[in-house]
Amino acid sequence: MKPITESEVSQDEILPQISGDVIGDTAYSERFVLKLMMKFAELDVLKDVLQEKSFEEDLCTLWDMTAERDVVQFLQKHKILNLFNYALPDIDSSRTLEIIVGIIANMCCQKEVVEDLLEKKDFLTSLLDYISHEDSLLLIQVLRLVSASLFLADDGVVQTWMDLLASVGFPDALYFILKNSSHKNLLINAMENLNTVCSYCNTGKYRVTFFTMFVKKEAIESLSAAVVELTITQPDICEKDDLERILVISLEITLNLIGFDQSLSIYSESKEALIPMIEFILKYYNNKIVNQKEIDIDLADVIDSTVTIVSTVDLSALCSMDKFFDNTFSIWLALQVTMKTELNGSSDFEDQDKEQLSAFTKKIESPLCTLMCKYMEKCSEDNLKKVLDTIGTNLDDILKVVTVEVREVVSKRTHDFKNRIENHVDS
């Protein structure tokens, strides 16, 4: 890293005449911030200062303050990024690095900071290089910095960001975190980061670069490992909102990873890693609808995404019924029973508006039936027999709401299968 010169952090630049001692419309003190900033310019005593508990506390206070736009603008005016760049080689405390990167991540919620940071490529590269650090809390802040910056990045600089991420081995480090960490907040931030990368880098002219960097065999395995860790290995670690967010973005990320012509061959040996993830997602929403009697408007998108994933990587042939068919059928059947009960004037969904329930059922019915049909289309004959025994006379109701193409394929397979069974019995 090329350090800045001492002239760039002169006292004349940092300590202007202070009037009023407040930053913008906040109640925060200019003098407090400037005195703290000056400590980063005094390298001869910085290592001693870093050992002081009061310094860490003051730095944390500044971190909190950067949630205010006026504070960020004040820090920008006094070139705090230059100061951090100047002092960074002398800082080896993981805690101090965490706070500094966290401050910068907060500041990156302002576009002008992202633009300024991108001009300091050596400094930015040094920050991004911490993605290979072993400290979980520091890693979280690096991920936040990248996510915030990509969110505000103009389309013209996305390639620059991708080049920087590639230069520090960011994809491999990210997948390593997802696959090996058990730290809740780190895993959640890593998933959010990967989802952000997919949203802003897997677009238009950048798709080829995204494919080269992120569509790797270990991607699916790492993503699934993170979901399993947060949902099955540590079942009570996430609050409801965090959990549901994890489930939704895990599907969004998967769709991005499998959306290339070469994806099927890349994930041919690792696609089974998706099964426990999808099984948990459907089991969760089955419990929510059937047992908790709670409508979830996200479910239609969840099922649509699952249909695409199951079809694209051909999971049906690998799965027993309990992996995703049983839960899908259970949700569909519960909604069918509920709507019939509504017609009779009573329902278990007493807190839900009847029109809302009806609209939800109509919206979700076709995706649910399509997912069941996709299973019947490719599952083994043993599993197909179990499916037909389970759904009984509901087959016609399931088939009538799917596309003609899907209906014809499943109708032919189930008809031929039933005929073979009957002929075998007759013989």
Q: What is the CATH number of the domain that holds 88?
A: 1.25.10
Domain containing 220 equals 169-269
Q: Is residue 290 part of a domain?
A: no
Cβ count near 291 (within 10 Å): 10
The DSSP annotation for 237-273 comes to SS-HHHHHHHHHHHHHHHHHHT-STTHHHHTTTTGGG
Distance, CA of 301 to CA of 368 (rounded, Å): 11
Of 243, 269, 295, the domain-final residue: 269
Instruction: Please check whether residues 154 and 176 belong to one and the same domain.
Output: no
Instruction: Please check whether residues 205 and 147 belong to one and the same domain.
Output: no
Q: Is residue 351 part of a domain?
A: no
pLDDT at 207: 97
Instruction: Please check whether residues 107 and 205 belong to one and the same domain.
Output: no
- Please give the structure tokens belonging to residue 414: 């189930």
Q: Is residue 4 part of a domain?
A: yes
Instruction: Please check whether residues 6 and 141 belong to one and the same domain.
Output: yes
Instruction: Please check whether residues 50 and 150 belong to one and the same domain.
Output: yes
Q: Is residue 129 part of a domain?
A: yes
Q: Is residue 39 part of a domain?
A: yes
Distance, CA of 192 to CA of 186 (rounded, Å): 10
Number of domains in the chain: 2
Per-residue pLDDT of the chain (427 residues; tens, 9 = 90+): 333 444 444 544 444 444 568 999 998 999 999 999 999 999 888 889 999 999 999 999 999 999 999 999 999 999 999 999 999 999 999 999 999 999 999 999 999 999 999 999 999 999 999 999 999 999 999 999 999 999 999 999 999 999 999 999 999 999 999 999 999 999 999 999 999 999 999 999 999 999 999 999 999 999 999 999 999 999 999 999 999 999 999 999 999 999 999 999 999 999 999 999 999 999 999 999 999 988 888 899 999 999 999 999 999 999 999 999 999 999 999 999 887 776 666 666 655 567 788 889 889 999 999 999 999 999 999 999 999 999 999 999 999 999 999 999 999 999 988 888 766 554 4
Which residues, 6 or more positions from 425, have their beta carbon under 8 angstroms from its beta carbon?
Answer: none
Instruction: Please check whether residues 46 and 125 belong to one and the same domain.
Output: yes
Distance, CA of 175 to CA of 172 (rounded, Å): 5
Q: Is residue 278 part of a domain?
A: no
Instruction: Please check whether residues 133 and 178 belong to one and the same domain.
Output: no
Instruction: Please check whether residues 46 and 91 belong to one and the same domain.
Output: yes
pLDDT at 61: 96
Instruction: Please check whether residues 136 and 180 belong to one and the same domain.
Output: no
pLDDT at 4: 40
Q: Is residue 409 part of a domain?
A: no
Instruction: Please check whether residues 199 and 249 belong to one and the same domain.
Output: yes
Nearest Cα to Cα of residue 388 among 362, 419, 414, 370:
414
Instruction: Please check whether residues 139 and 11 belong to one and the same domain.
Output: yes
3-state secondary structure of 290: helix
pLDDT at 351: 56
Residue 104 in contact with residue 145, Cβ under 8 Å?
yes
Instruction: Please check whether residues 205 and 62 belong to one and the same domain.
Output: no
pLDDT at 34: 95
Of 269, 285, 305, the domain-final residue: 269
Of 247, 269, 291, the domain-final residue: 269
